[in-house]
């Protein structure tokens, strides 16, 4: 088996090929022929992209950079950016050429040289690129300014431990008024990267209105980007809100779905106090979303379907008249079919129930076992409202005598007779004969439960259970054995003569021969219960049950629009809520804007965040929830900190070899926001944070890592006197620290 090593495995004969290229690059006759020289450089790049190590020709490629041929420059600069980290000493020789090209009369050459300098990932490069970047910000050519703005972000990323240059940030803010729209968007991206530790770009009223007025000049992706940044601005009056909404109105008609989605979310956020406006916007969104749901791009289709589900949470009939748009196509992948089936369950009404059930019945026979199960369970969900039609379809599916279909139908029947008791009789009529086609544990459990709970309505119920009891020694699932015990005891109460002998044999086996302690304990429990008399058995088995209507009520409860707006047009809509909360985003936020391809956005779940989630889960779910959409200026923080008294102060045990930045990142995941902190490695290390819970209680936190590094002095201040909220907040903070300590072991 092939294994990956530290270096790329060379192709057969690659060393000879590189040697020939090296000779060709040094050949003066080839150097004198521009086209031949360029072709040799093309071959070097081709070898490089194929994974062949061509670093040995670095010196020859450096010499090739001194040319007026812009195509040749592009090829050489691409090569140098790739191999500069491996050859840092030789790469410094190219700095003079790059600096010279940054002053070239041709703006394309200036931009290309500046971009290449910023991409040289090697130590000590910052001192060389700082001045060219600053010059590029003031260049007359818009292309050079675009490159220089992004170069600021690259330069900052290469020296994260250096304090942010305030003058550079101010210059970038001033470039938001650049006449070139791409420079404007690049400035927003660069500022977001540079100011990431301080909460990102600050969008105040002048900037917000300037961005709105420049929207028409931007391309579609630039408009999507600006709409995302505008979510940070909070208008101060109702009049200003409607002025902004009037400007955004045209972007709801855009032909680009990302612009429509961005404008819709901004509409919904700004109009959170105007439900009628939100309803009108969702109606206008219906057309673009339906078009995206039928897109040839599967990623686009999946994202659109997930957002349709979000909208149906507050308006179950919003897409009812277009239910056929969500019928499954034969070439749809499984994950899209599953979304469509879930949506169809939400769109069922008296007019379309027959068509939707017929579509789901066809899906039940799909070659994919997983999809067939999904379709069967979907019919079971619809059966809570249209029980007679659904039970008839489910009973018909049993005639296929397919193992996976029969198992899914039995599981659906089990849930259905509990949720909708009037279905019990037709379900019991369909059960006999199914035991021959069920082999999986879940299906067996469902069938055995039905036979035990409603065995008096199934004539051959004792004989089916007897067959399972006789083969109990070959059964590998302990849960099936325990279900069988319970079912036989239940059936014994209503049909004692037929069950007494086999029940005795089963209990004897469970107590004397069974190796699983759970099954053995269940057998002992029923033996003692039966020994106390049939009256006590009936009391235990016929005790009060939970209200079956609760399941239906929970599933059908509609949520207000504002409950899902924060995750609308983000990756959170593409994931199950619990799954999304387990993900750890590097930026510390749980909401990310959808990019060009939202399904392929990279989310990494690390060991640290697994430990954090497991430890935080010990805090009661309803104890405290920190919100993510808050901002606080340093001036306001300082004013509050000096005016408030200390509400809680304690020392947290800390390991000497653990960097406090690990704690910092964990708190960001929980929506603690940093207002200021010391550089990494300084002692004493200090950090100031703020947070706000869902009840608008604001908390200020000071963390001081002492010189001996054995403890972190923690101080918490609260702007309102709420002792319960304070205790919950402190508990959350303590659990976060425990998670960090657990990980560092």
Alpha-carbon separation of residue 667 from 71, 76, 106, 608 (angstroms): 49, 45, 49, 12
User: In degrees rounded to 5, what are phi and psi of residue 718?
Assistant: -125, 140
Contact 218, 178 (CB under 8 A): no
Quote the pLDDT of residue 667. Answer: 79
3-state helix, strand, coil in the chain (%, to 5): 65, 5, 30
Quote the pLDDT of residue 72. Answer: 87
In which element (H, E) is residue 62 found?
A: helix 58-64
Contact 339, 576 (CB under 8 A): no
Q: Which two tokens stand for residue 184?
A: 């404007």
Three-state DSSP class for 649? strand
Quote the pLDDT of residue 554. Answer: 40
With vertex at residue 554, the alpha carbon angle to CA 549 and CA 559, rounded to the nearest 5 degrees, is 145
Flag whether the pTM goes above 0.75. Answer: no
Contact 265, 224 (CB under 8 A): no
Contact 37, 30 (CB under 8 A): yes
Other beta carbons within 10 angstroms of residue 1's beta carbon come to 2
Contact 690, 701 (CB under 8 A): yes
Q: What is the mean pLDDT of each run of 10 residues along the chain (745 residues)?
A: 40 72 87 88 88 85 83 87 80 80 89 88 78 91 93 84 81 92 94 87 91 92 93 91 92 91 93 90 92 90 91 84 91 92 92 94 92 94 91 93 93 91 91 89 93 90 92 91 93 89 92 92 92 86 60 54 86 72 45 34 34 43 66 81 84 74 71 78 80 86 77 87 84 77 57
Question: b vs e for 295-321, b when ≥16 Cβ sit within 10 Å of the residue's Cβ?
Answer: eeeeebbbbbbbbbebbbebbbebbee
The full 3-state SS of 63-102, as one line of letters, equals: HHCCCCCHHHHHHHHHHHHHHCCCCHHHHCHHHHHHHHHC
Could you tell me which of 327, 384, 381 has the C-alpha nearest to residue 352? 327
Residue showing tokens 């699983």? 516
Three-state DSSP class for 148? helix
Contact 697, 720 (CB under 8 A): yes
Residue showing tokens 């047009």? 569
In which element (H, E) is residue 610 found?
A: helix 607-616
Contact 555, 381 (CB under 8 A): yes
């Amino acid at each position: 088996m092939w294994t990956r090593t530290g270096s790329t495995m060379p192709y057969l004969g690659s060393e000879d090929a590189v040697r020939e290229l090296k000779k060709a690059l040094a050949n003066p006759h080839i150097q004198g022929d521009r086209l031949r020289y360029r072709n040799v450089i093309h071959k070097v790049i081709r070898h490089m992209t194929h994974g062949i190590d061509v670093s040995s020709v670095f010196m020859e490629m450096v010499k090739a950079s001194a040319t007026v041929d812009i195509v040749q420059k592009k090829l050489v600069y691409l090569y140098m950016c790739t191999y500069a980290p491996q050859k840092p000493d030789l790469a410094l020789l190219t700095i003079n050429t790059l600096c010279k090209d940054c002053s070239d009369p041709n703006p394309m050459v200036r931009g290309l040289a500046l971009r290449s300098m910023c991409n040289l990932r090697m130590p000590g490069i910052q001192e060389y690129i700082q001045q060219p970047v600053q010059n590029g910000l003031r260049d007359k050519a818009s292309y050079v300014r675009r490159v220089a703005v992004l170069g600021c972000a690259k330069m900052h990323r290469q020296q994260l431990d250096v304090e942010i240059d305030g003058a550079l940030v101010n210059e970038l803010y001033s470039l938001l008024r650049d006449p070139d729209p791409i420079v404007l968007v690049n400035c927003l991206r660069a500022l977001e990267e540079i100011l990431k530790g301080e909460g990102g770009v600050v969008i105040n009223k002048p900037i917000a209105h300037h961005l709105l007025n420049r929207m028409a000049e931007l391309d579609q992706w630039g408009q999507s980007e600006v709409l995302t940044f505008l979510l940070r601005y909070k208008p101060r009056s109702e009049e200003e809100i409607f002025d902004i909404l009037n400007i955004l109105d045209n972007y709801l008609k855009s032909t680009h779905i990302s612009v429509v989605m961005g404008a819709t979310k901004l509409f919904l956020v700004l109009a959170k106090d105007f439900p009628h406006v939100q309803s009108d916007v969702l109606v206008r969104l219906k057309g673009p979303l339906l078009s995206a749901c039928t897109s040839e791009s599967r990623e686009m289709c999946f994202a659109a379907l997930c957002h349709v589900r979000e909208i149906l949470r507050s308006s179950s009939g919003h897409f009812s008249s277009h239910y056929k748009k969500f019928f499954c196509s034969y070439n749809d992948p499984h994950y899209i079919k599953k979304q469509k089936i879930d949506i169809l369950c939400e769109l069922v009404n008296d007019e379309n129930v027959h068509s939707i059930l017929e579509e789901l019945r066809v899906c039940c026979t799909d070659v994919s076992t997983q999809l067939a199960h999904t379709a069967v369970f979907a019919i079971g969900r619809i059966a809570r409202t249209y029980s007679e039609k659904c039970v008839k379809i489910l009973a018909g599916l049993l005639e296929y005598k397919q193992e996976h279909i029969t198992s899914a139908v039995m599981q659906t029947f089990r849930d259905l007779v509990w949720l909708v008791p009037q279905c019990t009789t037709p379900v019991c009529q369909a059960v006999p004969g199914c035991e021959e086609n069920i082999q999986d544990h879940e299906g067996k459990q469902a069938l055995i439960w039905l036979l035990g709970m409603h065995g008096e309505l199934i004539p051959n119920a004792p004989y089916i259970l007897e067959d399972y009891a006789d083969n109990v020694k070959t059964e590998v699932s302990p849960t099936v054995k325990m279900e069988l015990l319970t079912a036989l005891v239940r059936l014994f109460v209503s049909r004692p003569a037929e069950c007494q002998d086999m029940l005795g044999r089963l209990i004897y086996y469970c107590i004397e021969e069974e190796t699983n302690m759970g099954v053995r304990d269940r057998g002992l429990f029923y033996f003692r219960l039966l020994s106390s008399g049939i009256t006590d058995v009936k009391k235990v088995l016929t005790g009060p049950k939970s209200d079956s209507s609760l399941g239906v009520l929970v599933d059908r409860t509609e949520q207000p629009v504002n409950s899902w707006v924060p995750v609308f047009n983000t990756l959170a809509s593409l994931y199950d809520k619990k799954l999304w909360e387990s993900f750890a985003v590097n930026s510390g936020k749980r909401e990310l804007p959808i990019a060009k391809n939202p399904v392929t956005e990279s989310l990494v779940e690390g060991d640290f965040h697994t430990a954090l989630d497991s430890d935080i889960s010990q805090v009661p779910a309803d104890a405290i929830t920190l919100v993510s959409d808050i901002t606080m200026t340093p001036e306001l923080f300082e004013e509050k900190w000096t005016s408030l008294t200390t509400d809680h102060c304690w020392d947290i045990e800390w390991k000497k070899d653990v960097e406090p930045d690990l704690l910092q990142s964990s708190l960001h995941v929980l929506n603690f926001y940093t207002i200021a902190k010391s550089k990494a490695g300084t002692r004493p290390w200090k950090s100031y944070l703020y947070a706000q819970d869902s009840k608008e209680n604001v908390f200020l936190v000071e963390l001081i890592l002492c010189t001996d590094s054995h403890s972190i002095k923690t101080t918490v201040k609260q702007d309102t006197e709420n002792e319960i909220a304070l205790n919950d907040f402190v508990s959350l903070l303590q659990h976060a620290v425990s998670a960090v300590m657990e990980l560092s072991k």
